[in-house]
Structure formats: structure tokens, C-alpha cells
């Protein structure tokens, strides 16, 4: 599998008030493979978050010419966020999810979850800093955990 991950973090500390610090973080991950049917299968995740709680996250998954995109936008930490899912290629999100489970990415995710369950551990639902949002938003990025 090919893949890349990039993370940028900026810290801005005011010289007037060191108690007020701000940050922003950007993460990018892209992985792709050609499956045994000759289709290109890829997963791309982008995420931006800052110290105000603003969050913008996008997950795109492709199987050949079919694509599903999930977005999450949150204005601040109190905001539950708005989630949107859409598919290109004529199928519903449920149909795409079923197809995704048959790809090497879906099979690897299922294998990892089964191994964790065998050892009495819970499968990870995503990055810990977004856990509150994922619980309220039904884990919008659960198939591609973003780690820093």
C-alpha cells in the first residue's frame, strides 16, 4: 500500500499574555492500492483544528470510479458539528460502505477490530481529541483514524 501522512502544527503565543496560547493543527493522510480486481482503491483524510475548537474534517474513499465523501464542520467546542455524506457513482452510502468492507482497507479494518475484541479491547473509534464529537456525530471518520 502506498501512503503518506503530513501534520503541521502552529503555536502562537502572545508576548503580552503568555496565559493565552493558541494553536492550529492540519493533518493529511493518503493511501491507495490496486485490488485483485484491478481497481484503484484509495482513502484520503484531511483535518484542521484550532484552539477555539473549530474543526473541519474530510474523508474521501474511492473504489474505481465510485467515491464517497464525508465532511464534518464544527465552529467551536460546544458545537455538535454538521456532518454531510455524499456518494458519486450512483450508489447510496450504505451500498458504498458494503463495497468498502470488501476492499483490502475494509478487510484490514475488520481484521484489526476482531483482533482487539479477541484480546478484550475495544476497537478505536478515532482520534482521542475528537472523541466527544465522534460520539455525538456517530464517528464520521471511524474507518481512517488520524494519529499525530
Cell of 25: 493543527
Q: What is the pLDDT of residue 108?
A: 87
Residue 51 and residue 88 in contact, taking contact as beta carbons nearer than 8 Å: no
b/e for 8-35, b at 16 or more Cβ within 10 A? eeeeeeeeeeeeeeeeebebbbebebee
Residue 130: predicted pLDDT: 35
- What does the pLDDT read at residue 14? 44
User: Could you list the pLDDT tens digit for every one of the 148 residues in the chain?
Assistant: 455 555 555 555 444 445 578 999 999 999 999 999 999 999 999 999 999 999 999 999 999 999 999 999 999 989 999 999 999 988 999 999 999 999 999 988 887 767 766 767 765 543 333 333 333 333 444 444 444 4
Amino acid at each position: 500500500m502506498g501512503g503518506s501522512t503530513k501534520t503541521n502544527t502552529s503555536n502562537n503565543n502572545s508576548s503580552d499574555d503568555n496565559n493565552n496560547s493558541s494553536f492550529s493543527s492540519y493533518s493529511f493522510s493518503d493511501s491507495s492500492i490496486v485490488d485483485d480486481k484491478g481497481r484503484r482503491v484509495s482513502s484520503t483524510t484531511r483535518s484542521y483544528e484550532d484552539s477555539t475548537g473549530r474543526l473541519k474534517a474530510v474523508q474521501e474513499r474511492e473504489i474505481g470510479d465510485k467515491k464517497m465523501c464525508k465532511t464534518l464542520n464544527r465552529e467551536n467546542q460546544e458545537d455538535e458539528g454538521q456532518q454531510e455524506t455524499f456518494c458519486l457513482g450512483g450508489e447510496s452510502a450504505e451500498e458504498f460502505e458494503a463495497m468498502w468492507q470488501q476492499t483490502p482497507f475494509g478487510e484490514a479494518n475488520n481484521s484489526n477490530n476482531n483482533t482487539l475484541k479477541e484480546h478484550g479491547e475495544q476497537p478505536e473509534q478515532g482520534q482521542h481529541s475528537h472523541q466527544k464529537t465522534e460520539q455525538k456525530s456517530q464517528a464520521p471518520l471511524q474507518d481512517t483514524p488520524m494519529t499525530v
